[in-house]
Structure 1
Amino acid sequence: MTISFMRHGKPALVECGWVTPAQMARWIERYDLSEVGPQDIPTSSYLRTQSADVVATSTAARAMSSARLLGRTPDVLDPVFGEAELPFALINFPRLPPSIWAAVFRIAWFFGYARSAESIRNTKARAKAAAIQLVALAEEGSVLLIGHGIMNRLIAKELSAMGWRGKVPQRAHWGVSTYVETTPPGA
């Protein structure tokens, strides 16, 4: 049994200039609604998608549109596979590029800050539920999850704890990592 993780393609989101922490709420909303535009897809990612028996994605537009670009309709659409939510703060200074604020708030999230976002504790619990669902899907054949950077890594960590082995899911858009079950069920 194999479970592969692929990060979605690069979203077609136009940067909106520098923003305040409070304006990140709108940027996050736009990012969450953004689809993946036309782009070069690595051959290995395309081949992995075509060889998968089951393709799963989150309900995020960027994950679903990635599957479409790869020529597949997801067999499973489930918000359990969605990205770890990004918090923000309700202050109006200073202005920085959204990518800087995203990095700052992601680091803060890892340390427990979760204003207007799912906590790291709840996200890890969701990752465990996602791992269990992927293992059940793997009973039907090879599984490909077209998911998200942080969540793919959290799910992979749960799979490792369940006896699966593979490389840490890649951060790059379209990056693929495959996990293989090494512990027989019930062992």
Structure 2
Amino acid sequence: MVVYPAFITLIWCYQKKHKQEAPMEIILMRHGKPVFEGISRVTSREMADWIRHYDSSDIGRDMPPECSQILASSASRIISSPLPRALSSVNTLGRESDVIDDVFREAGLPILHLPGFRLSPVVWAAFFRVMWLCGISRDVEPLGTAKQRAVQASGILVTVAKASNGPVLLMGHGVMNRLIARELISLGMKEYRRQGKKYWDAGIYKLK
């Protein structure tokens, strides 16, 4: 059987024309569980110290679920927040960060002094976050500024993803990841999976 060069060229051109490029994919993952827990109940004033300890804590021996490990192994590039809980999560996944940028750090919590109450830090954090979402930022970054930061963060992610041969994974934080997700969707990316509220949860966004 004789195969003519012109026929081979024709097949190659057809395949190249109809070959579908892999969709641009960005994974937003929340870090693992930090080691620091502190005491079970604190005053609102003591929450300032609790937050400082939480921000300086890594995840110790906390291990990711298999699904998070699979997502991390599929990523061609890893981007991370500079906070220890994010960086140590990347290391636990057996990866190294290609980009570490302060733009991906978590949005801060405003502290409002309410004497006479001693509550779980989780309850205080939820209360302060609602305050922040309602526009009460006090001495931390306001919601509007955090949204602007999310625009900048999504721009970095898209730029890296366009230059990559596979998914780009951000190891970030719960609230900031959700703000970034909204920006990615506004850019036309489709949400294939929404990030949950648990440690190691991840959202997946693609653009064909």
Could you tell me the TM-score, scaled by structure 2's length? 0.84
Superposition deviation, residue 90 in structure 1:
3.4
Q: 2:206 aligns with which of 171, 180, 185?
A: 180
| SS of match in other structure, 2:29 | strand
- Supply the AA of the counterpart residue of 1:155: I
Aligned to 1:148, which of 173, 197, 200? Answer: 173
Offset of residue 140 of structure 1: 2.2
Q: Is it true that 1:40 corresponds to 2:51 in the alignment?
A: no
User: Where do 5+ consecutive residues of structure 2 fail to align?
Assistant: 1-23
Question: Does the aligned pair in 1 maintain the 2:26–2:206 contact within 8 Å?
Answer: yes
- 1:162-173 aligned at under 5 Å gives the runs 162-166=187-191, 167-173=193-199
Q: After the TM superposition, which segments of 4 or more aligned residues of structure 1 sit over 4 Å from their partners?
A: none
CA distance in 2, matches of 1:29, 1:116: 14
The equivalent position to 1:97 in structure 2, one of 117, 120, 125, is 120
Q: Is contact 1:128–1:155 with CA below 8 Å preserved after alignment?
A: yes
Cα offset, 1:68, TM superposition: 0.5
Kindly state the Cα deviation for residue 87 of structure 1 after the two structures are TM-superposed: 1.1
Q: Distance in 2 between matches of 1:116 and 1:20?
A: 18
State the partner residue of 1:50: 73
Q: Shift of residue 65 of structure 1? A: 0.3
Contact 1:8–1:147 under 8 Å retained in 2: yes
Deviation at 1:16, TM superposition (A): 1.7
> Does the residue aligned with 2:110 lie in a helix, a strand or coil?
coil
Q: TM-score, normalised by structure 1?
A: 0.93
Which of the numbers 107, 130, 133 marks the counterpart of 1:110? 133
Mapped contact 1:6–1:170 kept (Cα < 8 A): no
Residues 194 and 202 in structure 2, CA contact (< 8 A), matched pair in contact too: no
Decide which of 32, 48, 52 is 1:9's aligned counterpart.
Answer: 32
Contact 2:63 2:92 in 1 (8 A): no
Shift of residue 92, structure 1, vs aligned partner: 3.5
Is 1:120 paired with 2:146? Answer: no
Any unmatched runs of 5+ in structure 1? 183-187
Q: Which residue of 2 aligns with 1:23?
A: 46
Bigger Rg over Cα: 2
1:157 aligned to 2:182?
Answer: yes
Q: CA deviation at 1:91?
A: 4.2
Once the two structures are aligned, what percentage of the paired residues are identical?
41
